[in-house]
Amino acid sequence: MIPVTAFAGRAVAVFGLARTGIATAKALAAGGAKVLAWDDNADTRASAERAGVPLVDLNRRDWGDIAALVLSPGVPLHHPSPHRMVELARAVGAPVIGDMELFAMEANKVDNVRVVGITGTNGKSTTTALIGHILKTAGLDVRVGGNIGEAVLSLAPPRPGAIYVLELSSYQLDLVERLHCDVAVFLNITPDHIDRHGSLENYVAAKRRIFATQSDEDTAVIGVDDEITKKVFSEMRASGAQHVVPVSARKVISRGVYVLGGTLYDALDGKAKPGADLSRAIALPGRHNAQNAAAAYAAVRRLGVSPEDAAAGIESFPGLPHRQERVGQVGPVVFINDSKATNADAAAQALGCYDDIFWIAGGQAKEGGVKSLEPFFHRIRRAYLIGQDADLIARQLAGKVDVVQAGNLHTATARAAKDAVESGSHNPVVLLSPACASFDQFRSYEHRGDSFRIAVTDLIAKARGGNAA
């Protein structure tokens, strides 16, 4: 835990008591603050109490002495309208901040603490974990967290030489002023979270806050494979405010890192040299992961990691759960858990990696559903639809992809496995890449992916029992 001493002896409101909120309340209390913690959800409050966080109903308490409101990233700050807690804080002049701001207050007190921040619409978690893995294998003192894994304030306290590798969502970036990233990685942008930010422009502006406190001694690593981030790169390179490094999985670029033909090239000094063989990085399939690898390589090189150690770390990366995770095999049929693909753009990354796909999709569809995935339909042998918006997706697939209305994930997995076995294909893949949010049938995308893994484990057990017989 990182004790937060910046508010010692003062009252601080903490609203939103999931993983981040509980860690925040404990860190503030450890630093001597008077913590006033609350959540609108009774079950969440009960969980917080079991975790040792005392509760105070912020709806009923006078706010006159509150020094700050620490807001859960998931609570609306601006759009569609500020949450009532935000309005209460603003009424008394209390700043509205997030846990990343508290972390920055403490990290900035310690010399030679470095921070790597990673943002973008897709690939943040993989790139964050990959950077952390490379730095660990290179023998450095590294802590990984933020929007992935542990909440930032649950990590070990800062000390000289420590490197924090932090996944940063647009919601978290909206709540920071002091966070300083020695290396800031901006991977890509596709329309997402527009309901929260109000417009694509506001969403991009929130993401760009990752660069706000950088100086000419710092590094911005920017993907240049989509039009929006390409523009961001051009504007930032022209400004000269920091060292700007482009990365690409599509084309040769100068003074950056790029991937072509399965080889990662290091052109950071202007002369391209092979840096890593991505065919050996089995946990990083597809072009999207090539960009993730290029960004991670560029980031760790700017932190002083050698090309050899960077390449070795990429090639030995074990991957992340729920992100094109290989969870089992029955005969020739491979089962891939890509439950983290909660929108069509994320699902496209997986659909582009395999042929002969038996695709499990559905849930709560994002705007546009799966229309944008049409270029991949020829790879799909059959789609098995689940969840709230199965009918919508079926209409979008009509006449283009054979569809089974499976209803639930267990049924879909069993039917897809049966069809894949009977297909006669040499390399059939049962792919859970839903292109939809999970909250209609599951607590989270992790719950959905875990349920898929259990269903696959059951199928494997039955197959082995049949073989034994």
Annotated binding site: 120-126
CA dist 255 and 247 (Å) reads 9
**Among residues 170, 128, 178, 146, which one has the least CA distance to residue 24?**
146
* Total count of residues recorded for the chain: 469
Q: HEC profile for 235-263?
A: HHHHHCCCEEEEEECCCCCCCCEEEECCE
Q: Is 93 exposed, middle or buried (0-12, 13-18, 19+ CB in 10 A)?
A: exposed
CA dist 343 and 435 (Å) reads 4
CA dist 222 and 248 (Å) reads 9
Q: Is the dihedral of CA 97, 101, 103, 107 positive or negative?
A: negative
CB 301 within 8 A of CB 219: no
CA dist 193 and 207 (Å) reads 12
CA dist 314 and 336 (Å) reads 21
Residue 173 CA to chain centroid, in angstroms? Answer: 13
**Among residues 303, 78, 310, 344, which one has the least CA distance to residue 185?**
303
CB 364 within 8 A of CB 343: no
Q: Is 382 exposed, middle or buried (0-12, 13-18, 19+ CB in 10 A)?
A: middle
Supply 443's token pair: 């607590």
Binding-site residue set for ATP: 120-126
How many beta carbons lie within 10 A of that of residue 374, not counting itself? Answer: 12
| Strand-pair category, 436-437 with 364-365 | antiparallel
**Among residues 172, 258, 175, 186, which one has the least CA distance to residue 219?**
186
DSSP conformation class of 150: B
**Among residues 51, 8, 303, 9, which one has the least CA distance to residue 154?**
51
HSE-CB for 272 with a 13 A CA cutoff: 13
